[in-house]
Amino acid sequence: MSTILHKIKAYLYDNVLTKDNPNDFIARTTSERSLNVQQICLSAANRGGADISASAMEHATELFFKEMAYQLCDGYSINTGYFTAGTTIRGVFDSPSETFNKDKHSIIFQFNQGEKLRAEIPNIEVSILGVAESSAVILQVTDVKSGSVNDLLTPGRNLKIVGSKIKVSGDDASVGVYFVDATTQARTKVDPSDIVTNNPSEVMVIIPALPAGTYTIEVLTQYSGSQTLKEARTATLDKQLTVE
């Protein structure tokens, strides 16, 4: 029998990703915060899980990731035991003689869980906290050009946003779809004329001319289904998106 070492909490949300059962739900884990390399190394040192200092561990980890990225860019696949990684080319080649075209094709790095991480799953206890408060939530975004889910952004092309109560609606000046730079926190608002589809469970927008970087996406809306809210509420995807 497995020993429960970890606990994950989750809320249930209406399942708008499939149409098979209109009354089913999906679970979405709640996360207090996102940990960076420095914070993980500090935790390992404080817990006694590391026999070196946090700063030394952080330095070694950064060196490892830098070299791993270098090897991935040369086409090598990676297997750390905890995760595997590889390089994938997206896009269609119309003939055997067609060459790689950055305007038509794209390169992405894919990561998947490895054996050591899978071995920890039986040690996790999941606590369902019930149905989430009826508020706006983004469950998934798809970059239409690349087909990438919760990953890439292609400026000037369509982004499909799926969720619950995310229809962009209301007179508040803050209402709209935003891309927030993860480094600078600069906010780029989608022009209202670039909102292609605007439904409670699906919004389609044209991605603004964003510079290369990492972004989060937010939908601010006064939509609630039955009445217009006095103030806009925010739905944020809990994944970071990348413009290459």
pLDDT digits (tens, 9 = 90+) for 166-202: 999 999 999 999 999 988 999 999 999 999 999 999 9
Quick one: pLDDT at residue 138?
A: 92
The rounded mean pLDDT for the chain is: 90
**Torsion of the alpha carbons at 49, 54, 58 and 60, rounded to the nearest 10:** -70
Asked if 143 and 152 count as a contact pair (C-beta separation under 8 A), the reply is: yes
* 107-128 average pLDDT score: 91
Q: Kindly report which listed range (15-24, 107-116, 205-214, 234-243) carries the lowest average pLDDT score.
A: 15-24
d(CA 230, CA 65): 47
For 27, the token pair is: 């679970």
Question: What is the tally of helices (H) and strands (E) in the chain?
Answer: 3, 16
Phi, psi of 203 (to 5 degrees): -125, 130
With a cut of 80, say whether residue 210 has pLDDT above it.
yes
Quick one: pLDDT at residue 134?
A: 63
- The DSSP line for 74-126 is TT--EE-SSEEEEEEEES--SSTTPPP-TTT-EEEEEEEE-HHHHTTGGGEEE
Q: pTM above 0.95?
A: no
Of the candidates 154, 208, 201, the residue with the CA atom closest to the CA atom of residue 177: 208
pLDDT digits (tens, 9 = 90+) for 49-99: 788 999 999 999 999 999 999 999 999 999 999 999 999 888 889 999 999
Burial 176-214 (b: 16+ CB within 10 A, else e): bbbbbbeeeeeeeebeeeebeebebeebbbbbbebeebe
For 46, the token pair is: 């404080």
Phi, psi of 242 (to 5 degrees): -120, 130
**Torsion of the alpha carbons at 119, 120, 121 and 126, rounded to the nearest 10:** 170
For 243, the token pair is: 């413009």
C-alpha 170: how far from its chain's center?
A: 26
